[in-house]
Amino acid sequence: MESYTAPWASSAARRRLAAVEAALPSDPAEALERAAAAAHSHAQRLDEDTLQLNAGTNVPSPLVAALHESALAAQPSMGYPGTKYQPGLEAIDVVEVTAATAVARLMGAAFAEVRPTSATLANLAVYTALTDPGDTIAVLPDWAGGRHAAGVASVRGLRVAALPYDTEALDVDLDALDEFLGWEIPRLLVLGGSLMLFPHRLSAIADVVRGHGIPLLYDASQVAGLIAEDRFQDPLREGADLMTFSTYTSFGGPPGGVIVTNDAELAEQVANAVHPVLLANYDASRLVPLAAAALERDRSAGAYADQCIANAQALAEALAEEGFAVVGGADRGYTTSHHVAIEIPGGGTAAAVKLAESNLLASDIGIPSDPSGGVRFGTQAITRQGFIEDDMPAIAAACAGVLLHDRDVRRDVAEVRRRRVGLRWCLTPEDLP
């Protein structure tokens, strides 16, 4: 059976699309009702039956959810306050300045560009500002968690060169970096990726990069929430010229992207790339919730980040005890972030699917020992749901039941999920003055 929605998709995607299409009611109102019911059912399943171990997700706090004004999503707001294309947006001016100020202050930056609707778009804005088509950018290899080689760089017409990588240090190969930069002559070097178990040796990398006059971008999409709470590392103070990040995942806000820097010239270049080059209008309804998430990270003062990291380390140890090969090494504690990764000889994609069938939500990831043989876990969502170190052995046992013993663990997963009710490490509307 073929799909009419995306006949060009992979065979697996076409099969799934065709099944959904075949079940779709012909009446649009009935189809809408069915879609709404599916969305509600999925949200309920996430809340009641599953363990959200996907590193690319989080649970909105009551404050973030309450401050979303959906009417603003359809309100055009193009340009800077005082010179907007649309008049009568004085209230939106307050929203924009509040969000930018809150995020910049939290991240230790002088300037914050908060209009990008995703971290991918934020990265593209930096590429647009600092490179020309045909230039080279240097990024982490795909198998080391890199996330830039495909897609967004090609939109700018950029050549992508993989940085030399030290598989023991799980970081850029410092001994080979200087020669690499002299040979490849990139216009931009990008650190950060989809798997970040340990901080980059950023100061040492920046010293080498600075000698070649190359700007350094740190993509903190996965670890922004830790950085915001003064954990993991401090990219702008350690040598990064710019930092981009996603505003949900570990940050705990609505989906979106941010660019921060302490360099006024770079900030202006990036802002001009965001508008009018990449964006005309954008979704202003995100910004008050984004400011709320920034306030939550500030008020947490490291407590949420510390619990995320403690949970990840406990989960990694428990997974190792169950018999998994955990990336990172016991001698380093496996991780100093909220990420955990395991090696799966049969391939990470199939393993992630098996876990999802048992209500354990995770994702595949490339790892140095096998470009397609890893599964990535994140603790940011379950930490917000109140889980602590003592819960991690049961979660690891459920993962082992699925992947090592081919056992049905859905009842076990449901029992673990019901240990914790409500949310922690977040604010409610009643917490505001």
- From residue 37, how far is each of 15, 26, 29, 33, 354 by CA, in Å? 22, 16, 12, 6, 25
Decide if pLDDT at 150 tops 60: no
- Helix spans in 234-339 (H): 235-238, 264-272, 287-300, 303-322
Quote the pTM value.
0.96
* CA 424 to chain CA mean position, Å: 20
* Tokens read off for 95: 């929203």
Q: Is the CB of residue 101 less than 8 Å from the CB of residue 294?
A: no
Q: What is the pLDDT of residue 143?
A: 86
**Section 390-398 average pLDDT:** 99
Confidence category of residue 369, pLDDT binned at 50, 70, 90? confident
Q: What is the pLDDT of residue 104?
A: 99
Tally Cβ neighbours within 10 Å of residue 269: 17
* Tokens read off for 44: 């309920």
- Helix spans in 214-263 (H): 224-228, 235-238
Q: What is the pLDDT of residue 372?
A: 77
Q: Is the CB of residue 304 less than 8 Å from the CB of residue 225?
A: yes
Decide if pLDDT at 42 tops 80: yes
Query: What is the 8-class DSSP label of residue 163?
Result: P
Q: What is the pLDDT of residue 141?
A: 92
Instruction: Look up residue 244 and give its amino acid.
Output: T
- How is 206-220 classified by DSSP, letter by letter? HHHHHHTT--EEEE-
User: 260: which strand partners?
Assistant: 112, 243
Average pLDDT over the chain reads: 95
Render pLDDT for 213-256 as a digit per residue (tens, 0 to 9): 999 999 999 999 999 999 999 999 999 999 999 999 999 999 99
Q: Is the CB of residue 52 less than 8 Å from the CB of residue 249?
A: no
Decide if pLDDT at 147 tops 80: no
Render pLDDT for 275-295 as a digit per residue (tens, 0 to 9): 999 999 999 999 999 999 999
Distance CA 354, CA 399 (A): 10
Q: What is the pLDDT of residue 391?
A: 98
